């Protein structure tokens, strides 16, 4: 089993659906420890991505990386705050490592590793600082373990998504030492990091696009 361009496009569409449903939740999480605009920014960004994806006369996308590059460039131009550059860099690095018609289990790990490298290089964040890195790092670790165990690509994504969700929840008791939330000091504890939450949503969409290609994604990943 491999994941192809059609999977990548389904991933993007399901992400847009999931982010739209979780917009208010993400906004509330960010209101508690940030600027309060993460939900709106992410929703606007992925709506723009879908518009680009469906644009008449767009060049044919033959590689997984083509889709991821479209996501990267659109988010960089449409999403404000830290999310645009961070997610844009993550998708751009992943695109460069996915310049092929499909990805296998090892390719999924490479894609996720590249995304993590992009985020850490751009944001200079490390695990434990209450950022999206706290969701993405365990996702990479879980994906690597699953791939090494011979799991199919969809199963590798499932392991990554579960780990990202757990990692996002684990940010709740953390005290932020990076980003806007760090200004709150000890008061940042007790709140889930919005970037970690949106990271978990994106990886859940990747998993669902692989495990259930026929479904349209409606109703999945509802806000907690």
- DSSP letter for each residue of 27-92: HHHHHHHS-S-HHHHHHHHHHHHHHHHT-TTPPP--SHHHHHHHHHHHHHHH--TTHHHHHHHHHH
Closest CA to 66 of 27, 100, 38: 100
Tell me how far apart the alpha carbons of residues 128 and 62 are, in angstroms, rounded to a whole number: 38
In this predicted structure, which of 39-43, 179-183, 185-189, 192-196 has the lowest mean pLDDT? 179-183
Condensed to tens digits (0 to 9), the pLDDT of residues 115-124 reads: 999 999 998 9
Q: What is the pLDDT of residue 109?
A: 98
* Most confident stretch, 44-53, 80-89, 170-179: 44-53
How far apart are alpha carbons 198 and 41 in whole angstroms?
11
- In the chain the domains, ranked by start, together with CATH numbers, are 3-211 (1.25.40.340)
Distance (Å) of CA 121 to CA 17, 117, 138, 223: 28, 6, 17, 30
pLDDT tens digits, one per residue of 25-82 = 999 999 999 889 999 999 999 999 999 999 998 888 999 999 999 999 999 999 878 8
pTM score: 0.93
Beta-carbon contacts of 214 under 8 Å, excluding residues fewer than 6 positions away, are none
| Neighbour count for residue 108 (Cβ, 10 Å) | 28
Pair of tokens at residue 140:
């990479």
Structure tokens at 88: 């844009």
Supply the DSSP symbol for 103. Answer: E
The pLDDT value recorded for residue 215 is: 60
222, pLDDT greater than 90: no
- H helix or E strand, kind and range, residue 3: strand 3-4
């Amino acid at each position: 089993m491999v994941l192809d361009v059609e999977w990548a496009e389904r991933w993007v569409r399901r992400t847009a659906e999931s982010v739209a449903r979780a917009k208010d939740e993400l906004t509330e999480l960010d209101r508690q420890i940030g600027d309060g605009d993460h939900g709106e920014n992410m929703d606007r960004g992925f709506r723009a991505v879908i518009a680009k994806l469906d644009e008449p006369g767009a060049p044919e996308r033959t590689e997984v990386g083509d889709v991821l590059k479209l996501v990267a460039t659109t988010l960089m131009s449409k999403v404000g705050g830290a999310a645009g550059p961070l997610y844009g860099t993550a998708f751009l690095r992943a695109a460069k490592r996915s310049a092929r018609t499909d990805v296998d289990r090892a390719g999924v790990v490479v894609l996720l590793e590249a995304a993590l490298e992009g985020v850490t290089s751009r944001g200079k964040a490390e695990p434990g600082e209450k950022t999206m890195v706290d969701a993405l790092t365990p996702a990479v670790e879980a994906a690597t373990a699953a791939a090494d165990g011979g799991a199919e690509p969809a199963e590798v994504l499932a392991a990554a998504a579960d780990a990202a969700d757990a990692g996002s929840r684990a940010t709740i008791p953390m005290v932020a030492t990076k980003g806007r939330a760090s200004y709150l000091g000890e008061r940042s504890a007790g709140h889930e990091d919005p970037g970690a939450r949106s990271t978990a949503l994106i990886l859940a969409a990747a998993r669902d696009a692989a495990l259930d290609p026929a479904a349209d994604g409606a109703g999945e990943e509802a806000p907690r």
